Structure 1
């Protein structure tokens, strides 16, 4: 998805337009995640860019896109550009001994009731 969204649409409430834009982005992400994974891939990852225009778009994390949209809307911006491209991801194995004993530590802290 590479698109410039307009926040000022004549005859429409700005808040409803903002909600519709967020819904369209979420719908796109859900649709991409439903696609079949190629051989050897574990999950769908996304490369994201965000800016007020295509020329000043910078890399952003997928989880930060909604907050960036809210920031542009709060500042009174009339448009923004978002680019979300799906790519495959491969999970990295955990190093030995890391986060495996974490559950035991939590049980030891509150287990005796004293």
Structure 2
């Protein structure tokens, strides 16, 4: 999804427009997560960018996406650019705390 969302539309309450925008984002993520995974993948990962326009958009973790949209709305933004790209991912366990780092071994 690559889209510029309007937050102020004449004749519509800004809070309802914000709610509809957040609903559209969640709906897109839910739809993408429901797609069948390619072989060898165990989840969908998302690369997200958010900003006032396409040129100034910065990477945002998918878990912080809605909070950042709320922050933009509180700051008085009239629109924002959002890019969400889904990719197949493979979960990897974090390294154990007791084990030495790969470059520390003897």
Q: How many residues align?
A: 98
- How far apart in 2 are the matches of 1:82 and 1:50? 5
Q: CA deviation at 1:44?
A: 0.3
- Over 4 Å off, 4+ runs: 94-98
For structure 1, the 5+ residue unaligned runs are: 99-114
- How far apart in 2 are the matches of 1:3 and 1:37? 24
Name the TM-score, length of structure 2 as normaliser.
Answer: 0.87
Deviation readout 1:32-77 (Å, 9 max, x if unpaired): 0000000000100000000011110011100111111111111111
Could you say what secondary structure the match of 1:10 adopts? coil
Aligned to 2:84: 84
- How far apart in 1 are the matches of 2:50 and 2:32? 19
Larger radius of gyration between Structure 1 and Structure 2 = 1
Q: CA deviation at 1:93?
A: 3.6
Match runs of 1:9-88 below 5 Å: 9-88=9-88
- How far apart in 2 are the matches of 1:93 and 1:80? 35
Name the TM-score, length of structure 1 as normaliser.
Answer: 0.81
- How far apart in 2 are the matches of 1:58 and 1:94? 26
For structure 2, the 5+ residue unaligned runs are: 99-106
Write 1 or 2 for the structure with the bigger share of helix: 1
